[in-house]
Amino acid sequence: MQHMAQKPIVGVVPDNGTIKGRSMSLVLDQYLTALFAADMIPVIIAMDCLGDDLNGLLDRLDGICMTGSPSNIDPVHYNAPPEIENDLRDIKRDRLSFELIKATRDRRMPMMGICRGFQEINVALGGTLYQRLHDEDEFLDHRADPSQPHSVQFSSAHRVAVEPDGFLASMDGEKSFKVNSLHGQGIKNLASDLRIEARAPDGLIEAFSLPPREGFLLAVQWHPEILSDDMPLNGYIYEQFRAACTEYGALNARL
């Protein structure tokens, strides 16, 4: 819970992984660095912080960042059978993310979703996913080239067309932006409460939001945490997220 002129405190969802056989909560530095750069303080949420503990933690936060991840959501969460052999799953993250999204939504606390986080929010609110987007004839192959270094993989991949009158359209009235989008899955059916913010050249939904009266929620399929002059939209997203977290903290501050 923000007090006075303190920086917003943002909860960050980690992955569950192993290093040398030991279970760990893992977050790429790029997600934390981008929040620091936008004048926010990130706090990694423990995997087992559920129920009353989670609600107690949310009392102390001003926003939530749902990060990207190498893993995919277990398709059981959108009533689909698995279509990919040896798919990397993260059952602990699924459990935390879906409870967290619903609790954050109930509070109308600001929330930003990135890549897997974008997909998690859609599924948690009732949407579905394509599990093998590159096998769908109408879509481009949105996966990264594994032979390229990360600096190339996370550079601009394609443009997105911004929907009129949406949140992203408010940035200088631009109609399209270059984004660094790389993923193997994507939105099939958008949850009914959400509105489309931007689409890829093949028509795939790449950003969505809630109407402003429902609180700040913006999620994108690309990676805005990779800040660059070549993609000004990414910095704008963090600026607006910070403003929403600051406002939420001020409205909910306790004496």
> Which domains are seen in the chain, by residue range?
36-252 (3.40.50.880)
Question: Both tokens of residue 9?
Answer: 């405190």
CA pair distance 24, 38, nearest whole angstrom: 27
76-80, 133-137, 172-176: least confidently modelled range: 172-176
Candidates 183, 76, 194, 203; CA nearest to 132 is 183
pLDDT (average), residues 90-106: 97
| Cα–Cα distances in angstroms (integers) from residue 87 to residues 57, 90, 139, 166, 222, in the given order | 32, 10, 21, 34, 21
- Per-residue pLDDT reduced to its tens digit, 8-41: 999 999 999 989 999 999 999 999 999 999 999 9
Looking at the annotation, which residues are catalytic?
Answer: 115, 223, 225
For the sheet with 195-199, list strands across it.
41-44, 9-12, 63-66, 111-114, 217-220, 205-209, 195-199, 158-162, 176-179
Summarised one tens digit per residue, pLDDT across range 181-204 is: 888 899 999 999 999 999 999 999
pTM of the full structure:
0.93
- The yes-or-no verdict on residue 254 having pLDDT over 70 is no
CB-count exposure of residue 152 (10 Å: 0-12, 13-18, 19+): exposed
Give the model's pLDDT for residue 3. Answer: 47
Q: Which of 190, 62, 181, 59 is nearest to 121 (CA)?
A: 190
